[in-house]
Amino acid sequence: MTFLIPAALAGALLVSAISPVQAADTAPAAAQSAPVYHVKGVIKAISANALTLEHDAVPELQWPPMTMPFALANGLALPAINVNEPVDFDVSLVDGRYVITALTVRH
């Protein structure tokens, strides 16, 4: 027994068969856009790939005020900075760790 599918129905089946694959391909990109947390702090130490910052509380993360090191996001260009300088910085969860994604000096 042979079944013929009308061209209009065949097109609809093809679109619905492709759509979930396209949605699955775009879902990881949307999931990778981690929340950004805006924090105020003071630079306590500077190294090639990290900054140690004494920062204010981050209520969204349930972090109290503390001093801790943060890695720098790949490709982040820092302004001229010095130890004990107040800064505003953005932190996001990248590959399982919180990294600085932006930083500006507060004057």
CATH number at residue 48: 2.40.50.320
The backbone torsions φ and ψ at residue 2, rounded to the nearest 5 degrees and listed phi first, read -115, 135
Tell me, yes or no, whether 76 lies in a domain.
yes
The pLDDT assigned to 24 comes to: 37
Instruction: Report whether pLDDT(12) > 70.
Output: no
Whole domain around residue 58: which residue ranges? Answer: 36-105
Q: How confident is the model at residue 31 (pLDDT cuts 50, 70, 90)?
A: very low
The pLDDT assigned to 33 comes to: 80
Instruction: Report whether pLDDT(11) > 60.
Output: no
Tell me, yes or no, whether 52 lies in a domain.
yes
Tell me, yes or no, whether 10 lies in a domain.
no
- This prediction's pTM: 0.69
The CA dihedral of 57, 61, 62, 66, to the nearest 10 degrees, is -40
Cα separation, 81 vs 99, whole angstroms: 17
Number of domains in the chain: 1
Tell me, yes or no, whether 6 lies in a domain.
no
The pLDDT assigned to 107 comes to: 85
